[in-house]
Amino acid sequence: MVSHPRHDLDDVIHSPVRMSIVAVLAAADRVEFAFVRDAVEITDPTLSKQVTMLEKAGYVEVIKGYAGKRPRTWLKLTPEGREAFTRHLAALRAIADGAGLP
Partner 1 sequence: MDREEAAAALKAAEAHRQTVRAAARWPVLVLVAFGCVMFAVDFTTAFVSGPWTLIPASWAVIFAGWGAWYAHRQRVAPLGFLRRYLLAVVAGMLLHGVYLAVLIAAGLHGDPLAAFVGSLVVAAPFFIGAHVESRAW
- Give least dist CB 43 to partner 1, A: 18
User: In the bound complex, what is the minimum distance in angstroms from residue 19's beta carbon to partner 1?
Assistant: 6
DSSP β-bridge partners for residue 67: 70
Q: CA separation (Å) from 22 to 1, 28, 92? A: 30, 10, 14
Helix (H) / strand (E) containing 71: strand 70-77
- Minimum CB–partner distance for residue 60 and partner 1 (Å): 15
Which residues of this chain interact with partner 1, rule CB under 8 A? 6, 9, 16, 19-20, 23-24, 26-32, 34-35, 39-40, 67, 74, 89, 92-93, 95-98
Annotate 67-96 with b (16+ C-beta within 10 A) or e (fewer). Answer: eeeeeeebbebbeebeebbeebbebbebbe
Nearer of residues 58 and 65 to partner 1, judged by Cβ: 65
> Based on CB atoms, which residue is closest to partner 1, 6 or 56?
6
Measured from the CB atom, the residue of 27 and 56 that comes closer to partner 1 is 27
